[in-house]
Copies of this chain bind each other. A is one copy, B any other.
Amino acid sequence: MHLLSDLLGRPAAAIDTPALVIDLDAMERNLERMAAFAAQHGVMLRPHAKMHKSATLAKLQMARGAVGVCVQKTSEAEALAALGVNNIYISNEVVSPFKLKRVVALARELQALGGQLAIAVDSLEGLRRLAQAAHGQHAALRVFIEIDVGHGRCGLAPGAPAVALANEMARHPALQFGGLQAYHGRAQHLRTVAERQAAIAQVITHVQTTRAALQAAGHAVPLVTGAGTGTFALETASGVYGELQAGSYLFMDRDYADNERDPAQPPFEHALFVKSQVMSVCASHAVVDAGHKSHAIDSGLPTVHGLALDYANGGDEHGILRGAVLPALGDTVWLIPGHCDPTVNLHEHLLGVRGGLESGTVEQIIRVDARGALT
């Protein structure tokens, strides 16, 4: 990146390609709509920062009412904490003793700053390792028990199994039972509202069963946390969830936009784009300079913004455009990524443009602080 800061105040046309660009106006509307939803429904918002990996954006969300952020990795938490984000929940299991030492050290740091670190567990062994790491370290951790509410990944089976973990947790004064982590990732991407309603109805049953088992064993359940951009209105409506973890609403990718919109959710706009450029044209197609090293394709290919062109994967560094009217060599083509989280992770910076993609001005350069933070 040559003299990236020289771009500040310049027209968006000066951004060389490929580059990841935020439409700041659209992003701020998304931010406001989600903040208003949470306020109106009396539910806490803890957006997932695995999406943007940026302390600047985490703080922007917290300034608009978010109680903190989620991350998936210890190193993500460290990267954001180092830049002043002081309320972080690792909504994921950490079992490596080496990493658990880091988790405990970070908990102590955030505590000293008036903040807090939380983490998820889904096994007695994992819980014991965490307790061992925290023992005698003067660190307090809020710990959520993860249950598998249908996603089929991490998490205990719903119901009684959580009781043994809550019992064990009660033996360790450094660990405070935070409640239940209950996230159904696959439900986010079910296309129709009816399918998502059915999936989340099942989720709610699993949460209620588990909560009842814990309560019967004498454990109050302070909070249920979960939900994503595809379903959060449903979890909210259930009255069971106290905290929403949606992250993608801020940028809104192609995959989420493919969902039939639930009228109970605010409308979100695409705010994240890969700016690309036509580098080759022939009779049948044009080639842009953005391939799957510029945007993730795990949730499908990007779409082309504002033009009747189909994007086909052209490999690491190329995209192939087909359509009745092909763009010319050197033309700018804006792509809407299939999945924002792993797309952001491919870039060093997000370039914030104000006043529209084509005619706007570069107002902000946002570092992807936790890019590549895998451990």
A-side residues, CB < 8 A to B, are: 1-2, 16-19, 50, 72-73, 75, 92-96, 98-99, 102, 122-123, 125-126, 148, 152-157, 185, 277-282, 284-285, 287, 290, 292-294, 296-298, 313-318, 320, 329-330, 341-342, 345-348, 371-372, 374-375
Minimal Cβ-Cβ distance residue in B for A347: B372
Q: Give the docked Cα–Cα distance between A287 and B296 (Å).
A: 22
- Whether the Cβ atoms of B287 and A154 lie closer than 8 Å is yes
Q: Give the docked Cα–Cα distance between A293 and B73 (Å).
A: 11
Contact of A17 with B123 at beta-carbon distance under 8 Å, contacts A50-B317, A153-B320, A279-B154 already known: no
Contact of A185 with B95 at beta-carbon distance under 8 Å, contacts A18-B374, A123-B280, A153-B280 already known: no
> Nearest 6 pairs between A and B by C-beta?
A154-B280, A72-B317, A93-B279, A292-B298, A18-B374, A16-B375
6 contacts between A and B (CB under 8 A): A17-B96, A17-B375, A93-B280, A153-B315, A156-B282, A346-B372
Q: Give the docked Cα–Cα distance between A139 and B252 (Å).
A: 45
Q: A126-B329, A148-B282 are in contact. List 16 more A-B contacts (CB 8 A).
A: A16-B96, A16-B375, A93-B280, A96-B277, A123-B329, A125-B330, A152-B285, A152-B320, A153-B280, A155-B280, A293-B374, A297-B298, A316-B345, A345-B346, A347-B372, A348-B372
Q: Give the docked Cα–Cα distance between A314 and B72 (Å).
A: 13
Other-chain contact of A292, B154, B294, B296, B313 (Cβ < 8 Å): B296
Q: Give the docked Cα–Cα distance between A196 and B296 (Å).
A: 29
Residues from chain B with a CB closer than 8 A to the CB of A154 are 279-280, 287, 318
- Whether the Cβ atoms of A375 and B72 lie closer than 8 Å is no
Q: Give the docked Cα–Cα distance between A342 and B291 (Å).
A: 10
- Whether the Cβ atoms of A123 and B281 lie closer than 8 Å is yes
Q: Give the docked Cα–Cα distance between A277 and B342 (Å).
A: 20
Residues from chain B with a CB closer than 8 A to the CB of A292 are 296, 298, 342
How far, in Å, is A118 (CB) from chain B's closest CB? 17
SS of A interface (majority) = loop
Minimal Cβ-Cβ distance residue in B for A161: B282
- Whether the Cβ atoms of A317 and B375 lie closer than 8 Å is no
- The winner among A96, A341, A372 for most chain B CB atoms within 10 A is A372
Residues from chain B with a CB closer than 8 A to the CB of A280 are 93, 122-123, 126, 153-155
Residues from chain B with a CB closer than 8 A to the CB of A50 are 316-317
How far, in Å, is A171 (CB) from chain B's closest CB? 20
- Whether the Cβ atoms of B19 and A293 lie closer than 8 Å is no
- Whether the Cβ atoms of B315 and A185 lie closer than 8 Å is yes
Q: Give the docked Cα–Cα distance between A320 and B185 (Å).
A: 14
How far, in Å, is A91 (CB) from chain B's closest CB? 10
Q: Give the docked Cα–Cα distance between A294 and B284 (Å).
A: 35
Q: Give the docked Cα–Cα distance between A284 and B156 (Å).
A: 12
Q: Give the docked Cα–Cα distance between A1 and B95 (Å).
A: 17
How far, in Å, is A326 (CB) from chain B's closest CB? 13
Minimal Cβ-Cβ distance residue in B for A277: B96
Other-chain contact of A96, B152, B330, B371 (Cβ < 8 Å): B330
- Whether the Cβ atoms of B99 and A16 lie closer than 8 Å is yes
Q: Give the docked Cα–Cα distance between A93 and B318 (Å).
A: 11
How far, in Å, is A1 (CB) from chain B's closest CB? 7
